[in-house]
A and B are shown apart, each in its own frame.
Chain A
C-alpha cells in the first residue's frame, strides 16, 4: 500500500460516555470507526441525538474520547489543532467586529503576518460572495450571509480539514439549497478535506463523496455509502437517477430505525 492510502482522519472504535446528573453514564457513541481520506467530502447523516456532533467535536479536539482513538495524519488527537477549520450551526460571529475583522480572528490568534492576512481575508470574502460587506457588522447581514462569513473565517488559516456541524441547519430551505451549491463551489476552489454533519439526506448526497449513516442511542456508523455522482454537481444533480435511488435507500434506514 502506498502512503496515499492512509486515511487523513482515522477514527477507530471510538466511544463517548457522558455522566448524567444522576451519576449514571450515558453512552453517546459506541464503537464508531470511520476513515476520511484527503480531499474527500464526507457527510455524517443521522437523526438528532445520534452522537454525530459529538464525534465532530472529538475530531476537532474539543471533546475527549472515552475509548478508542482518533488520529489525524497518523497523530492521535490530544486537543485542538490549528490545521482544522470549524463551522458551527450558528455563525458564532463576534458582533462587535466587522465581517472582515471576524474573518481575521484566526489570523490574529495564530499571529499570521497582518498584510498577507488582510489580503487573504479579502480574497476569502470574495470567494464566499461577501465582497463589499467587509466593513459591515454581523447584525446587518442575513443568516445566509453570516454563515458565509463563518465559512470564510474557517478557511482563513488555510486548514487542511474543514469540520462543519449542521452549518445550514438554521437557514430557510431556499437559502439552504443555494448555500449547498455555494459550498460545493468553495470546496472545489480550495480543495479541503471536509466532514459535514447534517440531518438532511439531500444535502448529504448533493455534497459528499461518502455518506456515513449514523444510528442513534448509542450512535454508531450503520452504513458507509459511496456517492458515485460526477462532479461538478449542480441543482440538477438532485434529479440524477443515482441521487434519487440513494436518497430512497438512505431514507429507508431512518424509517427502519424509527420503527425498530
Chain B
C-alpha cells in the first residue's frame, strides 16, 4: 500500500465507516426497543421511498428549477449592484432602502408573491431570486467599491471607458466577494423555493413533503429531506467548483496547485 492510498484512507475511511455504522444502528436498534416503524422508518424504507420519488420524476425537475432560481436571482443581483455602484447619487438614494429590505425576512414576502404570480414555478423563481438577491448584491457592492485606487488610475491613464474599467478590473476584482455572497445565496435559494412550495404549489419537493406529511408517510418525508440535503450539497459544490475555478488568484497556493 503506497502513501497516497494511505492518505486517502486516513481522510475518507472514518466518515464513511462512521456513516455505515450509524445507518446499521438506525436500521437494527429501534426494532429491539419496539419503536414504531411509522414514526422512525429504517434507512431501507427511506431508500424505497427515495426510489419512488425518483420514479415520479421529481428529482431532476426540482434540481433544475432550484438551480435556475438561484442563478437568475444572483445574476439579477450582480446587474443591480453594477447599476448601484456606478453612480454615487443612485447608491446614496437606494442604499438605505436596500439595507432596510435586507432586514426584512424575505420569506415573509412569499405569500404575497404567490398571490401575485400564481402557484407555478415562476413564483418560486421570484422568491428564491429575492432571497439570493441580497447576499449577492451587498457583497457585489462591497466588491465593486474595494478596488485598489492605482488599478483604476491605470485604467484611467489609458483612457478606458467605464465598461472597460468594469470588465477588465472592477468585475474580476470583485469575484471573491461575489462568490462569498453566492455561497450563502445558493443554499438560501433552496429555502426560498421550498417556502414558496409550502405556500402554494402543485408540484415540487416542498409540495411533496406536505402531501407526505398529511398522509403520515414518515419514510417518504425522510426521503425528501435526504434529497433536499443532496440538492444543497450539489449546488454548494457547484458554486465551490466555480469559485476555485475563477478566483484561484485570491487563494493561497494550495488552490493554485490544482490549476497548474
Using a CB–CB cutoff of 8 Å, the interface residues on chain A facing chain B are: 57, 60-62, 79-82, 84, 86, 88, 90, 92, 94-96, 105-106, 108-110, 137, 139, 157
Contact = CB atoms under 8 A, between A and B. Distances in A.
B148 A92 contact: yes
Interface of B: 148, 150-151, 153-160, 164, 168-169, 172-173, 175, 247-250, 256
B72 to A, nearest CB: 25
A109 B158 contact: yes
Contacts of B175: 96
A60 B175 CA distance: 30
Question: Which 9 residue pairs are nearest across A and B when measured between Cβ atoms?
Answer: A95-B249, A109-B158, A96-B249, A109-B160, A86-B157, A92-B150, A80-B157, A96-B172, A88-B150
Nearest to A139: B249
Contacts of B148: 92
A110 B161 CA distance: 10
A86 B154 CA distance: 7
A94 B157 contact: no
Contacts of A139: 249, 256
Interface majority SS on A: helix, strand, loop or mixed? Answer: loop
Nearest to A61: B157
A61 B158 CA distance: 10
A84 B154 CA distance: 11
Contacts, number: 58
Contacts of A95: 249-250
Contacts of A110: 158
Contacts of B159: 79-82, 109
A62 B250 CA distance: 28
Contacts of B154: 86, 88, 92, 105
Nearest to B247: A96
A61 B172 CA distance: 26
Contacts of B157: 60-62, 80, 84, 86
Contact of B150 (A82, A90, A96, A157): A90
Given A62-B156, A96-B247, 20 more contacts: A61-B157, A79-B159, A80-B156, A80-B157, A80-B158, A84-B157, A88-B153, A88-B154, A92-B148, A94-B151, A95-B250, A96-B175, A108-B168, A109-B155, A109-B158, A109-B159, A109-B164, A110-B158, A139-B256, A157-B158
A243 to B, nearest CB: 33
B168 A109 contact: yes
Most chain B CB within 10 A, of A82, A96, A139, is at A96
A84 B157 CA distance: 8
Contacts of A57: 153
B253 to A, nearest CB: 8
A61 B159 CA distance: 10
A229 B163 CA distance: 47
Contacts of A79: 159
Nearest to B253: A139
Contacts of A84: 157
A110 B159 CA distance: 8
